[in-house]
Amino acid sequence: MRFGVVIFPASNCDRDCVHVLRAVLGQEVEEVWYEERSLDGLDAVVLPGGFAYGDYLRAGAVAARAPVMTAVRAFAQVGGAVLGICNGFQILLEAGLLPGAMLRNAVLRFRCTTVHVRVESTQTPFTRTLREGHVLQMPIAHGEGNYFAPGSLLSTIEEAGQVVFRYCDADGRVTSDANPNGSVRNVAGVCNPAGNVVGLMPHPERASEEVLGSRDGRLLFESVITTVIARREAPKQSRLYEIATGLRPSQQGRSPRPFGARDD
């Protein structure tokens, strides 16, 4: 499939994401310049980590207003899979594509270390092939990763299954010791109501090769590849199609729902 990796001025994990998607996973990758106004032909878009616009003003604040974000918004609206990693997550928050906001780390310092996160929702293309409770080991590297949402919003997104990842210990326990930045209720990643836009602070691209200590991050990319390809190509009777679309065979004939939509 065809990924787009957006390059903002001073993105600095763009090359890492391109490497993993292209060299490790063998996918087609288009490097999308921040002035681009169309994402036609792409199956999924990654907003990489870094310090877009130097994070001047506020992390992600200027990048959220870059021309390419109009295209990202349109891409998301029609159900396209969008992944924001670290600074990319901050940009999606600033763009209003994801709920909540980022505060400075509770330790008031940049932190680069390895953490564990637990998969809380499999209703996104990036977690569809994982299971709830799956513990992933990935690095973090950020100064503003203290996720915040006020109580009412937090309840809403938790009930809607929009919390995708929480910081946990190696055994999957969500504890305050396992929280590296003070995020409210250990939230490490969230999605939009439809589930197709996901943001997380940990770096899956830094955990995609054995030599770097973990391959857990690869599962996110493999999930979206499986999901998108299945959505496009799998025969409608198959289990793969069911995984990809959330549609049971009995529901055939209805158009595929957006990722993350629930039965009512």
Please answer whether residues 80 and 42 qualify as being in contact, where contact means their C-beta atoms are separated by less than 8 angstroms: yes
Query: Which residue is associated with the tokens 């490497």?
Result: 19
Residues 10-39 that bind another protein (CB under 8 A): 10, 12-13, 15-16, 19-20, 23
Q: Which of 96, 212, 236, 239 binds another protein (CB under 8 A)?
A: 212
Query: Contact region for another protein (CB under 8 A) — 45-53, 66-74, 184-192, 234-242?
Result: 45-53
Shortest Å distance, C-beta 111 to another protein: 5
CA pair distance 50, 86, nearest whole angstrom: 7
Residue 53 or 241 with smaller CB distance to another protein: 53
Query: Contact region for another protein (CB under 8 A) — 37-45, 76-84, 103-111, 162-170?
Result: 103-111
The letter for the amino acid at 249 is: P
Please answer whether residues 246 and 259 qualify as being in contact, where contact means their C-beta atoms are separated by less than 8 angstroms: yes
Q: Tell me if 89 contacts another protein by CB under 8 A.
A: no
CA pair distance 131, 112, nearest whole angstrom: 27
Residue 95 or 140 with smaller CB distance to another protein: 140
DSSP string, 36-65: ----TT-SEEEE--B-GGGG-SSTTTTGGG
Residue 47 or 197 with smaller CB distance to another protein: 47
Q: Tell me if 143 contacts another protein by CB under 8 A.
A: yes
Catalytic residue numbers read 86, 203, 205
Coil, strand, or helix at residue 85? strand
The span from the first CA to the last CA of the chain, in angstroms, equals 32
Coil, strand, or helix at residue 124? coil
Shortest Å distance, C-beta 10 to another protein: 4
Look up residue 249 and give its two tokens: 């065979």
Q: Tell me if 67 contacts another protein by CB under 8 A.
A: no
CA pair distance 16, 20, nearest whole angstrom: 6
Query: Contact region for another protein (CB under 8 A) — 75-83, 153-161, 208-216, 248-256?
Result: 208-216
Residue 43 or 144 with smaller CB distance to another protein: 144
Q: Tell me if 211 contacts another protein by CB under 8 A.
A: yes
Q: Tell me if 177 contacts another protein by CB under 8 A.
A: no
152: which residues sit within 8 A by CB, 6+ positions away? none
Q: Name the residues that contact another protein, by CB under 8 A.
A: 9-10, 12-13, 15-16, 19-20, 23, 49-51, 53-56, 109-113, 139, 141, 143, 203, 205-206, 209, 211-212
